Structure 1
Amino acid sequence: MAACHVSKPVQVVSEKKGPKPNDYWAKKYSHPVYGFNEKLLFKGLKEVADAKKDPAKIGVDLNGTWEQEGPFNIGGRVDVITPLHRASDTIFAGTPNGGIFRTKNGGQTWEPVFDDYSYLAIGAIAVDPSNTQTIYAGTGDRNFGGGSYNGNGIYKSTDLGENWTHLGLQQVGIITSCIVHPNQPDLILVGALGDGFAMTTQRGVFRSTDGGSTWQNTLFVSDSSGVCEMIADPQNPDVIYAATFNRMNSFGNSFSVGPDSKIFKSTDAGATWSQLTTGLPSIPLSRVGITISETNSNKLYAVYVDQNYQVYDVFLSNDAGLSWTALNVTGPSSGLDPDLLGGFGWYFGRIHINPFDDNTIVLPGVEQYASTDGGQTWARNVPEWFTYEVHADKHALHYIDSTTMIIGTDGGMYKTTDAGQNWTVLGELPITQFYRITAKTFADGVYAGGSQDNGTSAGNAQTPWTRDFGGDGFTPNYIDANEGKVVFETQRGGIHWLSDNDGYIDISINNSLGAVPTNWDTPYLVQETGELVAGTNKLVVMSSPPFDQWTEVSADLTRIAMGATTSPSYHTITELNSNPFSSNDILVGTSDGLVWKGDFTNGNMTNITANLPEHYVSSVRYSKKVNGKLYVAMTGYYNNFSQALIYKSENGGQSWTDISSNLPVIGINSLITYIVAGNEVLFLGTDGGVYYSENDGQTWNIVGANFPVSAVNDLDIDEVNNKLIAGTYGRSMWSYNLDWYIGLNEAKLSELMVYPNPVTDKLWLDSPAEFVKIIGVDGRIVWSQTNYSEKQEIQLNSIPAGAYIIRTDNGACRFVKN
């Protein structure tokens, strides 16, 4: 298989880091009027997790195993790095959507250790210093960006992460810190930012003296602020420092600046707290980070983020926090990049100290800067982000020795052994956050997808993935291999054309139409007749790409045209699908719950929403088998969300029938159909995994038994290799072999004869075949041959006993090996 998928270098969209982490999921899950009920999301995730443990809920015909396709080498966001001790080869990594990974060999290989749970956002990991087999994990996304989740409390493992027990605090939202007292292992402190979507009183510092059986809230600042950082004095574990700030991210009520940017200190192991004020700012600011010297516990540094989400200043204390001095790091002679935090400092706002040299401090952001003279001067200690030698957006940092450190970024982990002069990737974690994928590239069995902060990449489990385009990645289209013709997409309709003849051309929608409303994940299609069709709040068409302009061909298709008064940025087209029976016909879905069909060439569209609920339309599909049959899937945890939102129409959209049946109450992100032996099978990508129905939605089952409870944003079919491909938001891309299922259904219609059946060691077919495949119940091909002669003996001695499908170009049949 080809390792290079596009004959062009990675395109860097801009010299500056792109837009701040977008509130894509907030707009998808919530409503500007009805809000967001996160409890419904978590209830649905738990329902999926529980169903995975029940064999009756997993399809008998599709109960095999998923294969991880990667990418492994592209990475995703890592927020937490926790080794057992300073130089331990056993390290835990926490991710915002992918759970916990563990290495026992210093990062050479990693394994997931939290996949049985429905809360895969990890904000803190702590080791019991008195017993390093005991690990604590706090859930929730500590940086709380656009694709973030609250958690459901804290978990404990007593066997190095093999098994976990829930210890409560499910009401505190996001856990950012956990400290276990080294001399009193039952004394545990948890720092909580709180519910990121709602103002609550369950936030601050929580203290347990009985190993997590009960908890007391010992520090509470306000109902919109919580703890973003908590550290212990390395020489006196009863001395604790906690930093707080205001952070809320509910639809229409998001803020990261407020009066609670503060630092508190406890001298009695978190039982009581006092605010530190002398020399520290008292004006409304954003996130606060704090760190302490390991050789001189009187010495602390703190960083404050300003109202523009850049560095406000770094402060130094030499008297254990009693007084602080501003270091004026933003001055012109300091060397610190004034745009270090990219204008979204609430996403960063941390500071680290070298434990072997307390004059060396590090400020992570889009880039990363270090000072070796106590904050007087600064220099970048990573390559510029757009080289991709070290990914942009740095979040976690751990020193192994004075010059060796590990950092966690939006693109995985990196390691330096020379204080930042050179960096290498530390292992490979399959934690890419895909928005859109395709199984149709220029190479057989090679898959591609666009992902959060990692552009568009392509590859599979056997070949390293290549980074084919930069920016935030969305829908890729590989059009013509002979001409190297590809279309890539970045956020909000940034559409880019590459070909051998034309080179690289930016054909973004706003180049032609200006600042029109577009979805973060703007849908577009490449029509068989050559046109590009996309959705803003209207249908837009480029008739002769790439040397053409976008033209608006329809009226506004959102509820703004019906008088909606909420923000126009919410009201966009989210989904498009072409009619396989009529090349000009198109289906359209919108973020505000409207569905249309019509002719994209003239923009004449008919509203076919009818009795559908007002929810975010996540998929629209024409049936591939029956002309006039349509499918619609929706998401959104609001407005009495009490069932999965999946519907079909058998009369062209005049009316819709609910086909959610036995699905869990979970959001649906993707819907595709596939014809198997004349039957149209439905596959759904949900917020908790993949489901299928072979009876048009009368019943649904889980696909496969080993898939994590992860959001599946997009699905596709590799028709050549009979694989279902799933792109997740946080656990990269997976494939499921459909050979067994296809063979089983073909066998129901087939006249193929094999004998004997059951068989012990030898099998014969009654007719010649161009190919023969024997497929196990897990979808794996256990034996194959081409150019089979009539009544040629097939030896089965090496095949275990069990049920199998035998497929040829003439049909299929089921047989049993004794």
Structure 2
Amino acid sequence: LFGKNPERGVYRSTDSGVNWERVLYSNDSTGAIDIAINPTNPNIIFASMWERLRNPRYRRVGGLSSGIWKSTDGGDTWNRLSTGLPAPSSTVGRIGLAIAPSNPDIIYASYSNDPGNLIGFWRSTDGGANWSSRLISPAPSTFSGFGWYFGRIWVNPTNANTVYFGDVYMWRSTDGAAHWSDITGFMHVDQHAWAPSLTDPNLIFSGNDGGVFKSTNNGLSWAKLYDLPITQFYAMTIDSRTPQRLYGGTQDNSIPRTLDGAPNNWDVLFGGDGFYSAVDFTNSNIIYAESQYGYLGKSTDLGNNWDIILDGINTSERVNWCTPVVMSPFNHLILFYGAQKLYKTINGGALWSVISPDLTGGSGGGNLVFGTITTICQSPLSASVIWVGTDDSRVWVTTNGGTNWTNVSGSLPDRWCTRVTADVFDTATAYVTFSGYHESDHLSHIFKTTNNGTSWSDISGNLIDIPVNDILPDPEHQQRLFVGTDFGVYYTENGGTLWQLLGDNQSICPVFDIDLNNATRKLVSGTHGRSMYTYDLNQLDGPQCVFVPGDANGSHTFNGMDVLFGVNYIKGVGPVPRDSCQCGSHGRVYAAADANGDCAFNLLDITFDVTYCKGFGPAPRRCPDCP
């Protein structure tokens, strides 16, 4: 998507996904967007190819290689279909495909153009040999102009003439895609998925930007399924005064908030797509929240009523889809707002003033807003030190509160800056992260400075090449850092030399934001697709287990020859210590847990600095197997 590459195409596995081979390839700008397999003959496969490129300064969602291909031998060979279909064109865009399960000779295709408007619907009744245009009403202009975002079509499993199309709204045709009606009802907009019951023709499900909805009467009415943790968070925050209260901005679902931290007790604030939120650290009733492109509001009554607080901000300036808004850690009335310039308020948003020049390289000439501030951080150690990062790879710092700014991005990668975070131990130290969603460049993602940006060191360590979206230092451990990535949350105990996955039960999904409440030692992650997770950092601080046995005589039971260790553990490096040693009564002993089984003592392992006693009874479990 973000650059030409030879990996695009259709891939096939014949061993349940263990190995894959590419079986269809058009070119380095065209990927496969939809596949339909004949349910009675799996050797018959249809694939729609979509020519698409996008970077911050350029977007193309159509091309000559967009089209439909068919294989009759399980993907070994393919032929491009053409009879009756739109001719190849530079404006042919995304194509949706669906086979009628009740009659696999009937196939439907939806066509959108570049820039995304619906062209129409086509149907084949002879297995794809011939196609005919079907759309009669409504006019194509009735549908949205976001065909690149939706573009899926489905067929009822028992009636080949009943077809569904996902757009901003959910559409249904009962005459083979000729006439369409809107069946969205009170369902949320932006339809991406649809699934029928195979036993009940009236039971259908729709997946959209609002979640999953269910209909028991074939789409006449819908009910939302609220018990699925699938919210897509862009940003989140913890109420520092009442840390069980969590707020977060979400894709098309405003600002969900929980007041008690319960998984099933959330309400929704503000409106639109939700992004940054902040809670006054002196008064939890005062909340700041925003929707897309920096539309910022303030509530003084716990979210019941809102005032828009943009006075002083030049609304003609470029602002990011996810406009950063942060509160000063020194003064609850001071906030910062990032457009193309940095704004500051000293009276809780009543009035804003500019404290920087344009910190970007300009608009970039793209079709989307580009050339904006994406991250802001005031040092918790000095109110005069403020860091700013932009979508066009610029990182800036001021050490005098905004009077003078220094561009310190010279040696950093040319890619989207996701976060700049000031250190909590040293004023001159800061961390910066990059996503990589720029122009398909493969560069490092995490950097550190100890001299206010004069120089930077790469601390990506062993972290794989994945987008990094946020970084936080642990105020209790100087070398410990946490990062939110597109593959989950990782942490390091040694400043970035070695990174490891935090916990073992968070879904591997994009984590866009993380926040830490140090008083409770709770880390919270806002994921883009699996809601929020909390992690008790006491699990890292120890102890993790109550008992660790040293089975000195190899009897596999705990007896007078063995040692029972009370645990206070530290992490370290070096040779693997012995499980137990011959020490005097109440002596000191080290016990190592070789967590990764490499027979070496490293930061994935644990060292116990313990006081021991002798005992009898069943052998306790060895750490780290203990809960």
Q: Which of the five TM-score ranges fits, normalised by the shorter chain?
A: 0.7 to 0.9
Are residues 1:525 and 2:296 paired?
no
CA drift of 1:542 comes to: 3.8
Q: Give the direction of change, closer, same or farther, for the CA distance of 1:608–1:273 in structure 2 (3 Å limit).
A: closer
CA drift of 1:297 comes to: 3.9
Are residues 1:397 and 2:199 paired?
no
8 Å CA contact 1:412–1:428 kept in 2: the answer is no
Aligned to 2:274: 473
Q: Give the direction of change, closer, same or farther, for the CA distance of 1:223–1:683 in structure 2 (3 Å limit).
A: closer
Distance in 2 (CA, whole Å) between partners of 1:218 and 1:625 is: 54
SS at match of 1:294: coil
Q: Map 1:220-369 to 2 at 5 A.
A: 220-250=25-55, 252-282=57-87, 283=89, 284-331=91-138, 338-340=141-143, 342-369=144-171
8 Å CA contact 2:51–2:62 kept in 1: the answer is yes
SS at match of 1:344: coil
SS at match of 2:248: strand
What is the one-letter code of the residue matched to 2:522? K
CA drift of 1:663 comes to: 5.3
Aligned to 1:463: 264
Are residues 1:378 and 2:176 paired?
no
8 Å CA contact 1:480–1:486 kept in 2: the answer is no
Aligned to 2:308: 506
CA drift of 1:286 comes to: 1.4
Q: Deviations over 1:190-210 (max 9, x none)?
A: xxxxxx344455554556778
Q: Give the direction of change, closer, same or farther, for the CA distance of 1:319–1:693 in structure 2 (3 Å limit).
A: closer
CA drift of 1:758 comes to: 7.2
8 Å CA contact 2:397–2:452 kept in 1: the answer is no
Aligned to 1:572: 372
Q: Give the direction of change, closer, same or farther, for the CA distance of 1:673–1:404 in structure 2 (3 Å limit).
A: same
8 Å CA contact 1:588–1:596 kept in 2: the answer is yes
Q: Deviations over 1:36-94 (max 9, x none)?
A: xxxxxxxxxxxxxxxxxxxxxxxxxxxxxxxxxxxxxxxxxxxxxxxxxxxxxxxxxxx
Aligned to 2:556: none
CA drift of 1:735 comes to: 1.5
Distance in 1 (CA, whole Å) between partners of 2:69 and 2:501 is: 48
SS at match of 2:433: strand
Question: Which stretch shows the higher mean deviation, 519-528 or 580-589?
Answer: 580-589
Distance in 2 (CA, whole Å) between partners of 1:273 and 1:625 is: 61
Q: Give the direction of change, closer, same or farther, for the CA distance of 1:285–1:618 in structure 2 (3 Å limit).
A: closer
8 Å CA contact 2:150–2:167 kept in 1: the answer is yes
Identity of aligned residues (%): 31
SS at match of 2:148: helix
SS at match of 1:287: strand
Match of 1:408 among 160, 184, 207: 207
Q: Deviations over 1:273-307 (max 9, x none)?
A: 44443332214321222333333444333221133
Aligned to 1:593: 394
Name the count of aligned residue pairs. 546
What is the one-letter code of the residue matched to 1:277? S
Q: Give the direction of change, closer, same or farther, for the CA distance of 1:266–1:403 in structure 2 (3 Å limit).
A: same
Distance in 1 (CA, whole Å) between partners of 2:99 and 2:156 is: 9
- The runs of 5 or more residues in structure 2 that have no matched partner are 545-562, 567-592, 594-618
SS at match of 1:716: strand
Q: Give the direction of change, closer, same or farther, for the CA distance of 1:322–1:479 in structure 2 (3 Å limit).
A: same
What is the one-letter code of the residue matched to 1:498? S
CA drift of 1:363 comes to: 1.1
Q: Give the direction of change, closer, same or farther, for the CA distance of 1:406–1:587 in structure 2 (3 Å limit).
A: same
Which structure has the higher relative contact order (CA within 8 Å, separation 6+)?
1
8 Å CA contact 1:691–1:700 kept in 2: the answer is yes
Distance in 1 (CA, whole Å) between partners of 2:539 and 2:182 is: 54
SS at match of 2:293: coil
CA RMSD of aligned residues (A): 4.1
Question: Which stretch shows the higher mean deviation, 653-662 or 489-498?
Answer: 653-662
Are residues 1:632 and 2:448 paired?
no
Question: Which stretch shows the higher mean deviation, 515-524 or 290-299?
Answer: 290-299
8 Å CA contact 1:437–1:448 kept in 2: the answer is yes
Aligned to 1:159: none
8 Å CA contact 2:214–2:223 kept in 1: the answer is yes
8 Å CA contact 1:620–1:631 kept in 2: the answer is yes
Q: Give the direction of change, closer, same or farther, for the CA distance of 1:654–1:253 in structure 2 (3 Å limit).
A: closer
8 Å CA contact 1:201–1:223 kept in 2: the answer is yes
Distance in 1 (CA, whole Å) between partners of 2:622 and 2:19 is: 52
CA drift of 1:330 comes to: 4.6
Are residues 1:537 and 2:337 paired?
no
Match of 1:431 among 230, 241, 245: 230
Distance in 2 (CA, whole Å) between partners of 1:366 and 1:503 is: 29
Distance in 2 (CA, whole Å) between partners of 1:508 and 1:393 is: 33
Q: Give the direction of change, closer, same or farther, for the CA distance of 1:214–1:361 in structure 2 (3 Å limit).
A: same
8 Å CA contact 2:70–2:78 kept in 1: the answer is yes
Q: Give the direction of change, closer, same or farther, for the CA distance of 1:722–1:368 in structure 2 (3 Å limit).
A: same
CA drift of 1:436 comes to: 1.6
Distance in 2 (CA, whole Å) between partners of 1:685 and 1:481 is: 28
TM-score, structure 1 length as denominator?
0.58
What is the one-letter code of the residue matched to 1:463? N
8 Å CA contact 2:290–2:296 kept in 1: the answer is yes
Q: Map 1:614-763 to 2 at 5 A.
A: 616-626=416-426, 628-637=427-436, 643-649=444-450, 651-656=451-456, 659=459, 667-676=467-476, 681-693=480-492, 702-742=501-541
8 Å CA contact 2:45–2:71 kept in 1: the answer is yes
CA drift of 1:339 comes to: 4.7
- The runs of 5 or more residues in structure 1 that have no matched partner are 1-195, 746-756, 761-776, 778-799, 805-816
What is the one-letter code of the residue matched to 2:59? S
CA drift of 1:420 comes to: 1.0
CA drift of 1:577 comes to: 1.6
Distance in 1 (CA, whole Å) between partners of 2:59 and 2:32 is: 18
Q: Deviations over 1:736-764 (max 9, x none)?
A: 1123555669xxxxxxxxxxx9799xxxx
CA drift of 1:529 comes to: 5.0
What is the one-letter code of the residue matched to 1:397? A
Are residues 1:418 and 2:217 paired?
yes
What is the one-letter code of the residue matched to 1:724? L
SS at match of 1:516: coil
TM-score, structure 2 length as denominator?
0.74
CA drift of 1:734 comes to: 1.6
Are residues 1:497 and 2:298 paired?
yes
Aligned to 2:554: none
SS at match of 1:492: helix
8 Å CA contact 1:381–1:419 kept in 2: the answer is no
Distance in 2 (CA, whole Å) between partners of 1:264 and 1:695 is: 52
CA drift of 1:609 comes to: 4.9
SS at match of 1:513: coil
SS at match of 2:83: coil
Distance in 1 (CA, whole Å) between partners of 2:204 and 2:253 is: 23
Q: Deviations over 1:461-486 (max 9, x none)?
A: 54333232333222111227968321
Aligned to 2:581: none
What is the one-letter code of the residue matched to 1:605? W
8 Å CA contact 1:436–1:474 kept in 2: the answer is yes
CA drift of 1:648 comes to: 3.3
What is the one-letter code of the residue matched to 2:179? T
Q: Give the direction of change, closer, same or farther, for the CA distance of 1:802–1:253 in structure 2 (3 Å limit).
A: same
Distance in 2 (CA, whole Å) between partners of 1:277 and 1:621 is: 54
Distance in 2 (CA, whole Å) between partners of 1:245 and 1:607 is: 40
8 Å CA contact 1:445–1:721 kept in 2: the answer is no
What is the one-letter code of the residue matched to 2:483? L
CA drift of 1:364 comes to: 0.9
